[in-house]
């Protein structure tokens, strides 16, 4: 055999060996290959088709407790970047954990073995999408009332530890919206307060606590949802402030968080007509995201949209597919969609078509995918990262978090705030006389009856619709009482209270959630604020009434007509 023939056979063998190694995955790059996050992200991106890169920008929700066929298709056939867990997925904790494991297993079957971002909204307090065995907590405004950054840190830490057990690796918290408009129906007690610097300090501490627990924190809702009474789920709020006001108020927490390295920020569906953003939602506005957030604030992390199915953005954009394209062009890196579209939905096909025909858009999508990959590589490969496959034994042992439960009760106790009237404590059952406990929450009544065992009870609906029957029943019970302990949570509660204004009774009003309703019933004997409907908050309130703990919280915003 000639030398040339030997060479041909030799190099053919080498070529076949390399081909075999590549096709079997041996020696090929994947998510778990060694390397620095930035370098490995480049290698992964180079190995991706445009379809795979676009898929990394998708984060989808689904309906039901178990994985739907549609969400499985998006993971197995498209290899999307993440999933979003909503309250409708979470009533059964063990079922949720099994679902997370099933979805991650499907994701890791791709050639590049890239795990999913598994995100939820677990702010604490009012917003608790992962229900079941997880802790109910006093919430952000209670942290603001305590005024202690370590409380924010520990709240984030213990919430994060609970999410980690369930395999959830990303939390859409902290909410650093300011309590600027006190009639806000969306923000309310989700805010730390109305002071920008305080919100920034507490937001940083909360985020650091989440990171300590291995969770990716996400500040929201940029540029700020606190100065509107409207809800962007239904309409596009138009906030009439100048950019100078925005820069020195709502944007202060984001400026602070960016300097501290917050890894992700969520954009809100809000318009600011008196700025260069005009009437377009900030979530799809290039000036707000690229110019202000990226260039002026110098934010380096991941930008993710709020749900693109919210009317605040789809109505303005004209369609979901149009909103998605505008969001990416503006500078968002992840498109969050609460429901699962069809694989052939225009939200996918139109973006693929745009990548084929618009080089600048193709580059923007691949840049977004790169940033998503870097975030995953930085957080999901850490020793502290949540497990891909949650374990039942760990759930039984760690949910609710035993240390967290004690901390949240302590926080609730320190946040109880006297807003109006006089401190009624200590009010022993013998001193209170005949007591009536009225509330829209069964837990409030149950805990109240432990403090005042012989009290009468009146449960009224948590509703916006007034009822003549409720008013008459309530007034009849008040006539027989010496002391009324009333849980106030909304406008209907105010209406009921006003019917007994001149009853001559001792009236102690305990506000749950937003305490602004107390300013409409300042004639009460005592107006006391707790900031959530968690059992811990109600235990703290009645403990304060009995004089077992001092009332020491400070109202974290200036209420109209009531001193701070």
C-alpha span between 29 and 43 (Å, rounded): 7
Contact 488, 511 (CB under 8 A): yes
Q: Go through 161-196 and write b for each residue having 16 or more CB atoms within 10 A of its CB, e for each that does not.
A: bbbbbbbbbbbbbbbbbbbbbbebebbbbbbbbbbb
C-alpha span between 79 and 110 (Å, rounded): 7
C-alpha span between 436 and 560 (Å, rounded): 29
> Shortest CA distance to 171 belongs to which of 412, 369, 379?
379
> Shortest CA distance to 364 belongs to which of 374, 376, 354, 373?
354
Active-site positions read 233, 306
DSSP string covering 295-333, please?
IIS---SEEEESPTTSHHHHHHHSSHHHHHHHHHHHT-S
C-alpha span between 145 and 142 (Å, rounded): 5
Contact 233, 310 (CB under 8 A): yes
Chain centroid to Cα 554, Å, comes to 24
C-alpha span between 111 and 476 (Å, rounded): 71
Query: Which residue(s) pair with 222 in the sheet?
Result: 267
> Shortest CA distance to 370 belongs to which of 336, 335, 337, 333?
333
CA atoms within 13 A on the CB side of 415: 37
Judging by beta carbons within 10 Å of its beta carbon (0-12, 13-18, 19+), is residue 476 exposed, middle or buried?
exposed
Contact 223, 288 (CB under 8 A): yes
E strands of 356-511, at which residues?
Answer: 417-421, 435-439, 456-459, 483-488, 506-511
Sign, CA dihedral 275-277-278-279, equals: negative
Contact 231, 187 (CB under 8 A): no
C-alpha span between 58 and 334 (Å, rounded): 6
The DSSP secondary-structure symbol of 88 reads: G
């Amino acid at each position: 055999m000639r030398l040339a023939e030997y060479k041909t056979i030799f190099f053919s063998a080498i070529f076949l060996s390399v081909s075999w190694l590549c096709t079997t995955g041996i020696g090929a790059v994947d998510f778990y290959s060694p390397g620095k996050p930035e370098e490995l992200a480049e290698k992964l991106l180079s190995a991706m088709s445009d379809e795979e890169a676009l898929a990394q920008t998708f984060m989808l929700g689904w309906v039901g407790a178990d994985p739907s066929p549609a969400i499985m298709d998006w993971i197995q056939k498209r290899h999307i970047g993440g999933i979003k867990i909503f309250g409708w997925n979470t009533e059964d904790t063990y079922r949720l954990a099994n679902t997370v494991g099933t979805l991650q297993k499907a994701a890791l079957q791709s050639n590049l073995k890239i795990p999913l971002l598994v995100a939820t909204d677990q702010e604490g307090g009012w917003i608790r999408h992962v229900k079941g065995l997880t802790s109910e907590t006093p919430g952000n405004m209670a942290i603001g009332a305590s005024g202690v950054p370590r409380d924010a840190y520990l709240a984030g830490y213990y919430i994060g530890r609970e999410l980690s057990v369930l395999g959830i690796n990303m939390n859409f918290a902290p909410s650093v919206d300011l309590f600027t408009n006190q009639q806000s129906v969306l923000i309310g007690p989700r805010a730390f307060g109305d002071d920008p610097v305080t919100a920034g300090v507490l937001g940083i501490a909360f985020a650091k606590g989440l990171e300590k627990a291995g969770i990716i924190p996400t500040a929201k809702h940029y540029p700020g949802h606190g100065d509107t009474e409207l809800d962007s789920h239904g309409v596009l709020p138009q906030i009439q402030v100048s950019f100078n006001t925005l820069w020195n108020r709502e944007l202060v927490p984001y400026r602070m968080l960016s300097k501290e390295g917050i890894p992700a920020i969520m954009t809100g569906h809000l318009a600011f007509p008196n700025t260069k953003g005009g009437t377009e939602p900030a979530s799809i506005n290039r000036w707000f995201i690229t110019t202000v957030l990226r260039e002026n604030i110098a934010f380096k992390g991941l930008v993710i949209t709020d749900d693109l199915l919210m009317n605040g953005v789809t109505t303005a954009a004209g369609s979901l597919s149009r909103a998605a394209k505008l969001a990416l062009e503006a500078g968002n890196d992840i498109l969050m969609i609460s429901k699962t579209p069809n694989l052939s939905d225009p939200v996918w096909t139109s973006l693929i078509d745009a990548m084929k025909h618009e080089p600048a858009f193709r580059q923007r999508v691949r840049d977004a995918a790169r940033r998503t990959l870097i975030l995953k590589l930085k957080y999901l490969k850490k020793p502290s990262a949540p497990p891909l496959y949650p374990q039942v034994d760990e759930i039984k042992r760690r949910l609710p978090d035993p240390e967290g439960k004690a901390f949240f009760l302590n926080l609730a106790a320190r946040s109880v705030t006297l807003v109006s009237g006089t401190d009624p404590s200590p009010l022993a059952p013998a001193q209170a006389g005949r007591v009536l406990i009225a509330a829209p929450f069964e837990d409030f009544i149950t805990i109240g009856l432990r403090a005042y065992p012989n009290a009468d009870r009146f449960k009224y609906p948590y509703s916006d619709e007034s009822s003549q029957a409720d008013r008459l029943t309530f007034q009849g019970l008040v006539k027989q009482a010496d002391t009324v302990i009333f849980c106030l949570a909304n406008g209907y509660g105010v209406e009921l209270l006003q019917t007994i204004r001149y009853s001559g009774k001792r009236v102690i009003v305990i506000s749950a959630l937003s305490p602004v309703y107390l300013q409409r019933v300042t004639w009460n004997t005592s107006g006391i604020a707790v900031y959530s409907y968690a059992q811990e908050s109600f235990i703290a309130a009645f403990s304060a009434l009995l004089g077992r703990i001092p009332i020491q919280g400070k109202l974290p915003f200036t209420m109209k007509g009531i001193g701070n």
